[in-house]
């Protein structure tokens, strides 16, 4: 707990609400990083990483309404450059296809290929197992309550006027 003791020293004498906000923020960031590492480890056997998996998952739900890069960017909280790189990699693996939009030729549509659907089918149980393992210390009610609280924080931060391309 070296990090925790360092944080306590840095925040010594500060008001408890500030200490709690810093602690909650740091724990959230660390937990998210560790969860991403676990998911990436679980997906290694499929030749995917978490962001590729999330993109494929979103694309699998776009059968009736093809997904555009802008929508994917918003859903994944990623910049245009990051999405372009992500899509380039998925296309190189033949997991997605890009085509001009039927009604707006200035725009692209992204679709899941049969190989992409097959890879996603292999990946879903691996990711679900990683989620289950990560949330094991909490009860179902605790997970539900935390999800609602995190959604509140997320909505607040979204409305705080941060630039979309901020790192």
Q: Would the pLDDT of 141 be above 60?
A: yes
CATH number assigned to the domain with residue range 2-130, chosen from the 4 options 3.90.1200.10, 1.10.10.10, 1.10.3720.10, 3.60.15.10: 1.10.10.10
Stretch 15-39: mean pLDDT: 93
DSSP secondary-structure letter at 44? G
Q: Would the pLDDT of 163 be above 70?
A: no
Q: Give the integer Cα–Cα distance in Å for 101 and 68.
A: 8
């Amino acid at each position: 707990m070296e990090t925790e003791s360092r944080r306590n020293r840095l925040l010594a004498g500060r008001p408890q609400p500030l200490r709690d906000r810093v602690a909650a923020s740091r724990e959230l960031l660390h937990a998210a990083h560790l969860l991403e590492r676990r998911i990436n480890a679980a997906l290694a056997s499929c030749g995917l990483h978490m962001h590729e998996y999330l993109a494929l998952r979103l694309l699998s739900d776009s059968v009736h309404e093809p997904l555009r890069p802008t929508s994917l960017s918003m859903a994944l909280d990623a910049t245009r450059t990051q999405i372009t790189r992500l899509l380039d990699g998925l296309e190189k693996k033949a997991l997605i296809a890009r085509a001009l939009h039927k009604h707006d030729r200035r725009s692209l549509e992204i679709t899941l290929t049969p190989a992409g659907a097959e890879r996603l089918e292999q990946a879903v149980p691996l990711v679900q197992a990683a989620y289950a393992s990560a949330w094991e210390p909490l009860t179902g009610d605790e997970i539900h309550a935390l999800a609602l609280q995190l959604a509140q924080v997320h909505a607040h931060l979204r409305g705080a006027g941060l630039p979309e391309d901020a790192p």
